[in-house]
A and B are shown apart, each in its own frame.
Chain A
Amino acid sequence: MTAALASAIGEICDGVGRDPTRLLDVARAVQERFRCVSTAATDHIAKELGVPRGDVDGLVSFYAFLSREPKGRVVIRLSDDIIDRLHGFDRVRDAFGRALGIEPGQTTPDGAITLETTSCIGMCDQAPAALVNEVVVTDLSTDRAREIVGDLRDHMEPARLVRTFGDGNNAHDLVRAMVNNNIRAEGPFVLSELQRGEAVSKAIGVSPAEVIRAVKTARLRGRGGAGFPTGMKWEYARNAEPPDGSRRKFVICNADEGEPGTFKDRVILTERADRVLAGMTIAGYAIGAEEGILYLRDEYAYLQRYLEHLIDERRGDGLLGPRILGTDFGFDVRIQMGAGAYICGEETALINSCEGKRGDPRNRPPFPAQSGYLGCPTIVNNPETLCCVTKIIETGPATFCAHGSPASSGTKLLSVSGDCHAPGVYELPFGLTLRALLDRAGAADAAAVQVGGPSGTMVAPDHFDRRIEFDDLATGGAIMVFGPDRDILEIVRGFMDFFVHESCGYCTPCRVGNVILRDRIARIIDDRGEPSDLDELETLSQTIRATSRCGLGQTSPNPVLSTLESFRSAYEQRVEADPDGFRRSFDLASSVCLTVSPDARPSSGGREPSP
C-alpha cells in the first residue's frame, strides 16, 4: 500500500513537472485518488516536491475539499446557506442522514459514502442543492434524498443520478448536468450572442494603449464586487516592470464565485465562456501578458472538461497559442482548480492559491498589478468584467455607455434567489431600482432584500426605490429575497456562521471578532440578550470592519450593522433587561454544574453557537 502510494505520488508530481507551485493540484489529485491526503502522503509529497512538510500540511488543512482522514468513495456535500435553509435544507439534511444512518461530518461504516455540509455551491436558484462528488443535484426534497441514497447504494456512480439535463450547454456532452441556467433577462452585452474571434481580432488590430483607452472610455468598473475601474488597473499592470530577468505578466480570471447567493458566473461560464476567454486574451494583449489562469472554484468542477475543450478549440482557431491570428502576439490559458475556500476569491488569496499555497490574503502594498502571481505584474478580473470588455471592443465604448446610469455604465448580471417566483439570472442596465427588479422577479411581498450577499446590505421595503449601481446599492450580483415570515436574526446568524467558517484566521479582529459577533446574535435569538447588547454589537462590528486585514473581515459585520440600522425592531423585540437586575446572558445553572465536560466548548472557538 505505501509503495503504491509512493509511486502514485511520484507520478502525480511528475505530471506537474515537480513544480512546488503546483502543490494544490498535487494535493487535489492525491485526494481524488486516495480519498485523503494522509500523514504518509503528506510526507511523500513534501519529499517529491522538495518543500517543508509544513507547506503540505498547512495547505491540506486550509481547503475544505482536502482532508487528512479518508472520505467515502462518494462524498455528498449539502449546500448550506440561508437560501438553502429557506427551501428546506434541514429536512433534506435529515433525510440524507436517516437514509445513510449517519450525521453530517460522518462516513458510513463501510467507508462508501460521506455526508457533509458545505458553504453555498452557487445553486441558490435551484435550492436546496448538493454536490455528489462533482455532480450537482438540485431542487432536492426529502423523497429525492432517499432516492439518491438508494441509487448510490445500488451503483455508486454519481453521474447516473442525473436523469434529465438542464438547458443550454448544461446538456453538452462534456457537461451533462441537471443544472438549469434560469436566464430571465438576456441583456445586450454579457449574455448576447457572439461571433468567435471578432473581439480578439478587433483588439489586436489596434494598439494595446488604444484597447485600454476604449475600456476607460467605456468607464468599465469591475463586476466582482469592489468596482475598481478596469482600464486603470490594466494601465498599472501595463506600466509595471516584471522582476529581474523575467518578462512575464499574468491575467487571472476570478471564477471563484463564492459569495452566497451569487451564481451568475456559473451561467456565464456555461453559456458565454468563449467571451471570458476572449476577454482574457484581450487583457493579455493590453497589459503585455502571454499567460492566463482561469481560477475555477471546485464546486464548478463539472464545467472543467467543457472549459478545457473550449480552450482547445480556441487554440485550433488560432485565438489562443503562440501566434494569435498570425501575429506576434501569443497568449495561452490554463485552468487552476480551487479546493473549497471562499477567501480564495479575494484577489491576493487567489494568487496564493494559484501558487499552490494556503489561501491567506497578502499584505498590500505591493498590489498585484505591480507584483502578483510569482512576483510578476498580474491583473485579476471577474468573468463578467471580461465579457464586458469583449463587447466594448466589438461595439465601441459609446454603445456600452448608452446603457446604465451616468456613474455606472453598462449592464449588471444579477443572481436573484429566495422568496420570489422567478429566481435566476437577470442582465439589466445599471441604475434600475430594487423595486423594479423585485417586480420582474415576482417578489411583490418581499419584506427584506439582501443586496450583495452576506457582505452586502439588508434593505427594508421603505428603501426599495434605491438603485442598483456603484454609488448606491453596489453589488457583485447577489440579490436574496426574504418574505414577511422570515426571521431577520436567523438570517444574520446564518451569514455570521458563514464568515466564521470562511475566515482565513490570519488577523485577530476577523478570526476572533466574528465568533464573538455570531455568539452574541445567537444569545439574542435564545432570548438571553440585553438592551446593552445592541450598542456592544455596534462597537464590535465597527472595530472588526475598521481593523481587519482584507475585504472579508472589513465587510463581515455588514449583516449586523445593516440590520441594526434597517431592522432595529427585530433586535429590540428580542432583548430586555432582567427584572431582578441580573445579567440575562449569565446562566447560573450551567455555571454551577461541577461536571465540566472536556469538550464543553469545541476547540474551534465554536463552529457551533456557544451553549
Chain B
Amino acid sequence: MNAPITITIDGVEVPATPGQTILEAADAAGIYIPRLCYRPGLEPYGGCRVCMVHVAGRACAACTQPVSPNMVVENDTGELQEQRKMIIEMLFVEGNHFCMFCEKSGNCELQALAYRFGITAPRFDLFFPKRDVDASHPEILIDHNRCILCAGCVRASRDLDGKSIFHFTGRGPDRRIAVNAEAQLAATDADVTDRALDVCPVGALLRKREGYRTPVGQRPYDQAPIGSNDQPEEA
C-alpha cells in the first residue's frame, strides 16, 4: 500500500508516497508550489487557492489533492501564475494591509508572495473594510484588518492545543475569525504558549511585544524571496 510511486511535476519525475498530497510531494522534492493556507502539520484546508495546479488538465488545489501513481502535474505555467497573482491581489484588497506599519513585515507570507509575483499596486479597488482589533488579552493581539481567513489558528487551536479558541463566524464576505467567548480574547483560555499563535501567515494573530525583536531588514523574506531554496523553512 505504501510502496513509493512516481509523479511528474512540470516535467520532472519526483518520488511520492500514497497518502501524500501533491504539495507535500513537491516540498519533499524541493519544488516550490506557492501556498498560503497550507500550514505544515495541520489538516489541509484548501481555502486560499494559491496552490492551484493542473492535473490532466483539471484544476485542483495541491494542498488537498492526494497523489496517485503516474500523476502528471502542471505547476509553473503562465496561466496558473497569473491566477495565483490575481488571488493574492484579491486578498490584499479585501483587508487593510499597511505593510509599512506592520510588525510582521519581512516575515509575512502574503507580503512575500506579493514580492515574488511582482505585485506593486493591486489592480482592483481596495475594499477598505471596517474591521476590529482585539487587544484585550495581555499577551496576544488579533488584528482582523490583516486576517486572510486561512483557518490556521482555527485548526491549530482545535487540533494541536485541544482548545477550539478560534472559529469562523458569518458567511461570504462577512466571514470573520471569532473567539470562543461572548466578546473578546481575554475572556477565553488562550495562552501565550498556545501553538495556535505560531501559525498565522500574516500579522493578524501576534504575541505582543515581540514584533520588533528581529530588526527590519534582517527578517526571513528580507533576505531571500519566499519559496527560494535558501529560504529557512520556519520563518
Q: Tell whether A pairs with B.
A: yes
Binding site for B on A (CB under 8 A): 39, 43, 52-55, 57-58, 61-62, 341, 343, 358, 360, 363, 365, 500-509, 511-513, 515-516, 519, 536, 539-540, 543, 546-549, 585, 598-607, 610
The answer to whether A504 touches B182 (Cβ under 8 A) is no
Report 12 cross-chain contacts, Cβ distance below 8 Å, ordered by A residue. A52-B167, A54-B167, A363-B44, A363-B45, A505-B171, A505-B174, A512-B93, A543-B83, A585-B125, A600-B128, A601-B128, A603-B174
Closest approach, in angstroms, between the C-beta of B178 and any C-beta of chain A? 6
Smallest Cβ-Cβ distance to A56: which chain B residue? B167
Contacts of A513 in B (CB 8 A): 90
Whole-angstrom CA separation of A504 from B49 in the bound complex:
15
Whole-angstrom CA separation of A543 from B80 in the bound complex:
9
Smallest Cβ-Cβ distance to B183: which chain A residue? A39
Whole-angstrom CA separation of A176 from B61 in the bound complex:
49
At the interface, yes or no: B133 with Cβ under 8 Å from chain A? no
Closest approach, in angstroms, between the C-beta of A208 and any C-beta of chain B? 29
Contacts of A519 in B (CB 8 A): 125
Could you mark each residue 57-70 of chain B with 1 if its beta carbon is under 8 Å from any beta carbon of chain A, else 0?
00101001010000
The answer to whether B64 touches A604 (Cβ under 8 A) is no
The answer to whether A341 touches B49 (Cβ under 8 A) is no
Binding site for A on B (CB under 8 A): 44-50, 52, 59, 61, 64, 66, 82-83, 86-87, 90-91, 93-94, 123-125, 127-131, 148-149, 164-175, 178-182
Contacts of B93 in A (CB 8 A): 512, 516
Closest approach, in angstroms, between the C-beta of A455 and any C-beta of chain B? 16
Indicate which residue in A503, A539, A547, A549 contacts B172 across the interface (CB closer than 8 Å).
A503
The answer to whether A604 touches B173 (Cβ under 8 A) is yes
Q: A52-B164, A543-B86, A546-B59 are in contact. Are A605 and B94 (CB under 8 A)?
A: yes
Indicate which residue in B48, B125, B172, B181 contacts A504 across the interface (CB closer than 8 Å).
B172
The answer to whether A62 touches B180 (Cβ under 8 A) is no
Whole-angstrom CA separation of A503 from B125 in the bound complex:
20
The answer to whether A547 touches B180 (Cβ under 8 A) is no
Indicate which residue in A343, A360, A501, A603 contacts B129 across the interface (CB closer than 8 Å).
A603
Q: Taking A54-B167, A547-B87 as given, write out 5 further A-B residue pairs in contact, using a Cβ cutoff of 8 Å, ordered by the A residue number.
A: A53-B181, A512-B94, A516-B125, A546-B59, A546-B83
The answer to whether B167 touches A515 (Cβ under 8 A) is no
Smallest Cβ-Cβ distance to A585: which chain B residue? B125
The answer to whether B175 touches A540 (Cβ under 8 A) is no
Contacts of A599 in B (CB 8 A): 130
Closest approach, in angstroms, between the C-beta of A39 and any C-beta of chain B? 5
Whole-angstrom CA separation of A446 from B117 in the bound complex:
47
The answer to whether A58 touches B52 (Cβ under 8 A) is no
Q: A365-B66, A508-B47, A548-B49 are in contact. Are A598 and B130 (CB under 8 A)?
A: yes
